[in-house]
Amino acid sequence: MKYCLTILSALFILNTSFTQKLVSFEKVGVFPKAQIQSIYFVAAEYDIDLYKVTYRSVDINQDSTTISGLVMVPVDEDAVFPMHCNQHGTVADRNDVPSALEGGYELGMIIASFGYVTIAPDYLGLGISEGPHPYIHADSEAWVAVDMLDAVKSAADEIGFNVNDQLFISGYSQGGHAGMALHRELQQNHSDRYTVTAASHMSGPYSVSDRMIEFTLGDTEYFFVGYLVNVSIAMKIAYPELLGDYELSDIFRPEYLGDITEFENENIDLFELNNRMIDTLVARHGMSIPKLTMQDSISDAIINNPDHPFSVALADNDVYDWAPECPTKLYYCKGDDQVTWRNSELALEVMTANGASDLEAANLGDDRDHGGCVQPALSQTIAFFNSLKQITSDTKDINNYQSADFLSPNPTDGILNIASDYDISSLEIINVVGQSVFKTDKTQNIDISQLDSGIYLAIVSTANDKKVIQKLIKK
């Protein structure tokens, strides 16, 4: 018994490096599961507590900075939950972020309500983070999320939640790009601390330098012109050695510079900028053709010259040329009017060629646009994650359980019986890494032959809500 308890309790020893990153956390709301069910029409399983967290990370120049984000915690003090990171989509301005209960935080909260401790970073340049936002910059999208994972783990005891070894990743639109960047970063550089259980990357611009260029800088109408400005400013910020000599006037035509400067100075948000640029395009050209906002030399170079500094910077933010090692889904809709579905097609092709063996891309609707694809992608993601998640009892308090001999035979080849004087409501079996591997309400002829040989912990819940434990050996 002591051996088993020692192994289980070790799961909750915090890595001391985590504690250096947390700055503060503040409870900012509660969302009852009944409200989630009625508003979003999902079968939510838990109430959710919402916390604004601030933590230390680095800015685009690798100088220390403070980042904000939202943590969404299912309410059940006796449960040990998986962790989940949901990367948010494109937002209007620095205040339109999860930590302010904006910026599409609802997607993460809905997933959290099924039993996941969910984090949602605000990204660099958003929320409390100073400076401009490096939009679609893969490296910073990844590193602020890794640092938030570390910070939140350090706060688990203080906030009052317990997490196991599972980690799920999701994100929609820009969040799809950011989620894939995080997934790649964890697998390639942090596998000693985090193992991704599963990932769902939804409608993301994974091929910034190719598929998105074809989609946005062609001769057909595209009604999200402001994204070009966001990307151009971001590349100048992130790649000063390549693009430091370029002014916005070198990139965009004079008639758009006034509105672009207003956006850069944060006097208008991204969506107001987008509307103004479309109005000018239509007034001058009768159509919303984004490349007509740009200087010909720049648009031609981006389309035709892969060695141009802008092309090099964009290519550095492609996030599909690797191979996920865990089950991974790429959800998209062929009717998407903001992010072409061919991003997912290319990612599937390249990742499969690179050796990904548990990867699937799924079209969720030929006639669904970017907004219309959200609901089916979220539903598929929840079903996918729920098929793999593991929620266990809180083993940190296991020393308070009563110990007794109620199983026979023990050791066993596969059939168990529980002593008749135990009025049980359930039996749960936990392995040595704290994962729940078997549950039943039977008391006799319990077949556990499917379990691997080894040492387990059996927990009986009695009718009067007491818990009794016994070490179990499966031969």
Quick one: pLDDT at residue 8? 36
In whole angstroms, give the CA distance from residue 101 to residue 297: 41
Residues 53-59: what's their mean pLDDT?
96
**Does position 399 have pLDDT exceeding 70, yes or no?**
no
Query: Does the structure show a pLDDT above 50 at 204?
Result: yes
Q: Give whole-number Cα distances, 190 to 88, 163, 196, in Å.
A: 22, 18, 10
3-state secondary structure of 241: helix
Higher pLDDT, 430 or 366: 366
The yes-or-no verdict on residue 2 having pLDDT over 80 is no
- State the DSSP code for 363: E
User: Who's near 375: CB < 8 A, 6+ residues apart?
Assistant: none
CB 461 within 8 A of CB 423: no
Q: Assign 177 a pLDDT band (cuts: 50, 70, 90).
A: very high
Whole-angstrom Cα distance, residue 193 to residue 199?
17
Q: Are 319 and 177 a contacting pair, CB within 8 Å?
A: yes
- Which comes out higher in pLDDT, residue 64 or 403? 64
Beta strands, E only, 75-222: 79-87, 117-121, 162-172, 198-202
Average pLDDT for residues 410-434, to the nearest whole number?
A: 81
**65-79, 80-94, 436-450, range with the lowest pLDDT:** 436-450
Q: What is the pLDDT of residue 432?
A: 60
Tell me the C-alpha distance between 76 and 30, whole Å. Answer: 13
The 3-state secondary structure of 11-56, one letter per residue: CCCCCCCHHHCEEEEEEEEEECHHHHHHHHCCCCCCCEEEEEEEEE
The two three-digit tokens of residue 226, written as one number: 């402001």
Which tokens in the block code for residue 385?
């994650």
Percent of the chain topping pLDDT 90: 78
DSSP-H helix ranges across 124-210? 138-154, 156-159, 174-189
Q: What average pLDDT does the chain have? A: 91
Section 359-375 average pLDDT = 98
Residue 390 pLDDT exceeds 80: yes
405-410, Cβ contacts within 8 angstroms, sequence gap of 24 or more = 405/470, 406/458, 406/460, 406/468, 406/470, 407/458, 407/470, 407/472, 410/470, 410/472, 410/473
Task: Of 304, 252, 256, 308, give the one whose Cα is nearest residue 277.
Answer: 256
Q: pLDDT (tens digit, 9 = 90+) per residue, 425-434?
A: 788 888 765 6
Which amino acid is present at 224? Answer: F
CA nearest to 200, candidates 68, 387, 390 = 387
Q: In sequence order, which residues have a C-beta less than 8 Å from that of residue 1 and are 6 or more positions away?
A: 403, 469, 470, 471
1 pLDDT more than 50: no
What pLDDT, on a 0 to 100 scale, did the predictor assign at position 160?
A: 80
Looking up tokens 């208008």 gives: 268
- At 316, the pLDDT band (50, 70, 90 cuts) reads very high
What is the band of 20 on the pLDDT scale with cuts at 50, 70, 90? low
Mean pLDDT value across residues 359-383: 98
Pick 418 or 129 by higher pLDDT. Answer: 129
pLDDT value at position 21? 87
Give the rounded percent of residues in the chain with a pLDDT score beyond 70.
92
> With helix as H, strand as E and coil as C, how does 404-444 read?
CCCEECCCECCEEEECCCCCEEEEEEECCCCCEEEEECCCC
pLDDT at residue 331, as a whole number? 98
pLDDT-derived band at 419 (thresholds 50, 70, 90) equals confident
Cα 162 from chain centroid (whole Å): 18
Q: Dump pLDDT digits (tens) for 319-357.
A: 999 999 999 999 999 999 999 999 999 999 999 999 999
The pLDDT of residue 153 is 86
| Tokens 């997490």 found at | 163
